[in-house]
Amino acid sequence: MENQYNKTITACFVGYIVQAVVNNFTPLLFLFFQRSYHIPLSQITLLVTFNFGIQLLVDLVSVGFVDRIGYRASMILAHVLAAAGLILLTVLPEVLPSPFAGILAAVMIYAVGGGLLEVLVSPVVEACPSRNKEKAMSMLHSFYCWGHAGVVLVSTLFFHVAGIENWKILAVVWALIPIGNAFAFAKVPIAPLIGDGESGLQLKELFRLKVFWVLLVMMICAGASEQAVSQWASTFAEKGLGISKTAGDLAGPLAFAVLMGTSRLFYGRYGDRIDLDRFMVYSCCLCILSYLGISLLPLPQLSLIACAVCGLSVGIMWPGTFSKASAALPKGGTAMFALLALGGDVGCSGGPTLVGMVSGALGDHLKMGVLAGIIFPVLLLAGVILCGKSKKEIVKNA
C-alpha cells in the first residue's frame, strides 16, 4: 500500500516547490519593476504584505470549504491558481491602466494558490500510509527550502545569461511546474485524513483543548524563529561585509535556506532513529545560541556564520510541530492543519516585524532587534517541554 502512495508523496514534494516559486520569484524582480514600471518602493513593499496577507486569509477560510469539495479538487485548484498568477504576472501589468494594479492582481491569484497549498500539502502527506510519518513530514518541508534555493539560483543564472528584461520567459517556465503537478494530482491516490465513519474535530472542540493552544503558539514561534533571521540575513551580509545585493542574497538567505533544508533532509532520512522531542529541544537550544551569536559577536563574519547556523537550527521546528500535532490530535482534521498553517504565517509575518520595530526604535540597530527576537525560540522550547507533559490530554483525545 505504501508503494501506491509514493507518487502522491512525490507530488506533495513538488507542491512545496510550487509554493517556494510563488513566494520567492517575484521579490527577485522588485527593483526591476520599480525601474521599468516607475512604481514607488512603498508600493513594491506592499506586494510582500499583500501576498502573505492573502495566504493568511486563505488559511482561515479554507476550514469551511476544503472538506466540502475534497482534497483532490482543492489541490488541483491550488496549482491552477499558482500557474495562472505567474502567467498573468507577464500580461496584466501591460494591459491594465496601472502596471502596479496588474502586478497586484497577479500576486493575489497566486497567493490564493500558495495559501491553499500550505493548508493542503501537510495533511495529504500525513494521511498517506507510511511507517514513520515524522520522517516523511520533515522530508516534505525540506523541499520548500530546496525550491527556495533553486528559484534564487536558477533565476539569478537566467538573468545573468538572458538578461532580466526577459523575465517573462522565466515566469512562464516556472508556471509549467504547477501545471504539470495539477495533472499529477488528478491521478494520484489520496487517502482520507479521517477514517470512514469518523469526523474531524470542530473549531470549538479544538479551542477547548489546552494542547492545541500550546501547539498553535509553537507554530507561531516556529515561523517567527525562522523568518526573523531569514528576512534580515541579506541585510546583514550587505552591511556587515560590504558586498552587493546579489552576493548578499547568496551569502545570506540562500545559505540559510540550504542549511535549513539540510536539517530537514537529515531528519527525513534518519528520523526513525532519533527522538523528535529531543531533536526539537536541541534545535531550540542551538537556535537560542545562534540568536545570541548574531546579536553579540563583534565580527560581522561571525554574525553571518551565526545566521547560517540559525537556518540549521530552525529546520525541524515547523515540520516537527506539525508531526507533534498529528500525534497529539489524530482527529484534528482540516481545521487543525488550517489553523496551524495560519499560526505559522502569523509568525512568519510577526517575527521580522518585531525585529524591524525594535531595530528602528534603537536607531536601526539590527543586532538588538534580533536579540529581542530570541523570545520566539525560548517560547518554542517551553512549548516542546509542555507538550511532553500533556500526554494525559493527548491520550484522552486520541
In CATH, what number is assigned to the domain containing residue 257?
1.20.1250.20
Last residue of a domain, one of 193, 227, 262: 193
Q: Residue ranges of the chain with pLDDT lower than 50?
A: 392-395, 397-398
Query: Is the domain of 61 the same as that of 86?
Result: yes
Query: Is the domain of 380 the same as that of 293?
Result: yes
Query: Is the domain of 106 the same as that of 239?
Result: no
- 110's grid cell: 497566486
Query: Is the domain of 188 the same as that of 204?
Result: no
Query: Is the domain of 224 the same as that of 98?
Result: no
Classify residue 2 as exposed, middle or buried by CB count within 10 Å of its CB (0-12, 13-18, 19+): exposed
Q: What whole-number distance in Å separates Cα of residue 233 and Cα of residue 287?
A: 15
Last residue of a domain, one of 193, 213, 232: 193
Query: Is the domain of 105 the same as that of 244?
Result: no
Closest CA to 28 of 257, 245, 251, 345: 245
CA dihedral (290, 293, 296, 297) in degrees, to 10, reads -170
Residue 390, pLDDT score: 64
Last residue of a domain, one of 174, 193, 212: 193
Number of continuous H segments (helices) and E segments (strands) in the chain: 19, 0
Residue 177, pLDDT score: 97
Query: Is the domain of 149 the same as that of 248?
Result: no
At 212, the amino acid letter reads: F
Q: What whole-number distance in Å separates Cα of residue 263 and Cα of residue 283?
A: 10
Closest CA to 14 of 134, 182, 167: 182
Query: Is the domain of 162 the same as that of 208?
Result: no
Distance of CA 300 to the CA centre of its chain: 27
Domain that holds residue 307: 198-398
pTM: 0.83
The number of domains in the chain is: 2
Hey, which bits of 78-151 come out as E strands?
none
Query: Is the domain of 269 the same as that of 380?
Result: yes
Query: Is the domain of 158 the same as that of 211?
Result: no
For residue 347, the 8-state DSSP code is H
CA dihedral (149, 344, 120, 182) in degrees, to 10, reads -30
Query: Is the domain of 187 the same as that of 213?
Result: no
Query: Is the domain of 334 the same as that of 359?
Result: yes
**Residue 275 zone, left/alpha/beta (φ > 0; ψ -120 to 50; rest):** beta
CB 233, CB 239: distance < 8 Å: no
Residue 392, pLDDT score: 47
